[in-house]
Structure 1
Amino acid sequence: MATGITSFCPRGWAAAEGQLLAVSQNDALFSLLGTIYGGDGRTTFGLPDLRGRVPTHPGSGPGLSPVRLGQRDGQEQVALTASQNAPHSHSVQATNLDGDKGGPKDKLLAAAPNRGVGQETIYSDQDPNVTMNSQMIGNTGGSQPFSILDPSQTIRYCIALVGIYPSRS
């Protein structure tokens, strides 16, 4: 595999775009890849498809899930549902008595007495005696998908079709 910044792969190389190749014409490469990336293993085999993908190393590590060679994970967008949001609730300390104080410091919300515009005193130091209606706060969001892509710069991945066959030692 090699990365490139051109719009093509050089002669003897192919773009890593998941295409199927004939085993009969690429037997050395097939002996390395097998059907890890697709194909029937008799007449065809697949190349890795790195279009819109980030390559990762196979294996596992502390705190990481195991990843096998050829595994595809992730998605470009996700739509959260209400059940996936963190649970939360809101309470309010209030009274239904007429407010008699002008400022919120050390007070709670109260009913606005009808004293004319600019004369409202909507705070009180009375004990709270009402609870907030559960309909005051509704569901949020619309389950619309949003992008979860990391910032990226697109480059081309090419795989050698011919070359020096790698040894295992």
Structure 2
Amino acid sequence: MDAFVGEIRLFPYANGRSVSGWCLCDGRKLPISQYPALNSIIGNLYGGDLKTYFNIPNLIGRAVMGSGTGGGPTPNDLPLTTRNVGDAVGERTSSITPNNIPSHTHQVAGAAYTNASNVDTPDATTVPSAPFNIKVYAAYNSATAPSTLAPATIGNTGTPYTTPLIVNNMQPCLHISSYFICLDSGGTYPIRP
């Protein structure tokens, strides 16, 4: 098959087995002395010591993404990010912690006093209510800082903080086989303009 040294192809039939002139893209180390052409093309972009060995890309369980400068998933996303060839980014899972939750507020509800429906014991159907003819509200004065309520005024709900929840980030995918890179013996050396 015609190919260039360093070309990467997805083989839907190899299922991880070796293909003559090609190597599974699994991040392995290759000796420079045995693959000088491939080393001259990819160098140590994916790892290596620049003396005796270099690594090929590890595409096992990874999606391929182009390099360059741009925003996030849409053109208007900021800040701009530079994605260099060989950068491995992303994660298969994430830990959801309180830091992942956006800041938010809680509203306190109240009701006007009505002698007919007020009760002495609060339950899940009641809200705070002021006694009749007792003035408990005042206009907000921006020159005077409002007082902070005692923490017990509004209680916490839900479950207490526990070990972070691990969630899967993997996009829907179909496993058909593996990526392979063309070795020195499998292709033609690409001529650069």
TM-score class, shorter-chain normalisation, is 0.7 to 0.9
Q: Distance in 1 between matches of 2:23 and 2:49?
A: 19
Q: Distance in 2 between matches of 1:91 and 1:137?
A: 14
Q: Distance in 1 between matches of 2:166 and 2:57?
A: 27
Contact 2:113 2:129 in 1 (8 A): no
Counterpart residue number, 2:164: 143
Distance verdict in 2 for CA 1:88–1:25, change over 3 Å = same
Counterpart residue number, 1:106: none
The aligned length equals: 152
Unaligned stretches of 5+ residues in structure 2: 1-7, 72-76, 132-148
Contact 1:98 1:112 in 2 (8 A): no
**CA shift for structure 1 position 134:** 2.5
**CA shift for structure 1 position 52:** 1.1
CA RMSD of aligned residues (A): 3.1
Distance verdict in 2 for CA 1:99–1:76, change over 3 Å = farther
Q: Distance in 1 between matches of 2:67 and 2:112?
A: 63
Q: Percent identity?
A: 25
Unaligned stretches of 5+ residues in structure 1: 102-109, 114-121
1:85 is the counterpart of 2:101 = yes
TM-score calculated relative to the size of structure 1: 0.75
Counterpart residue number, 2:12: 5
Q: Distance in 1 between matches of 2:93 and 2:155?
A: 31
Deviations 1:26-85 (A, max 9, x none): 000000011111111111000000011111111113544110010010101111221321
Q: Which has the higher contact order (CA 8 A, sep 6+)?
A: 2
TM-score calculated relative to the size of structure 2: 0.67
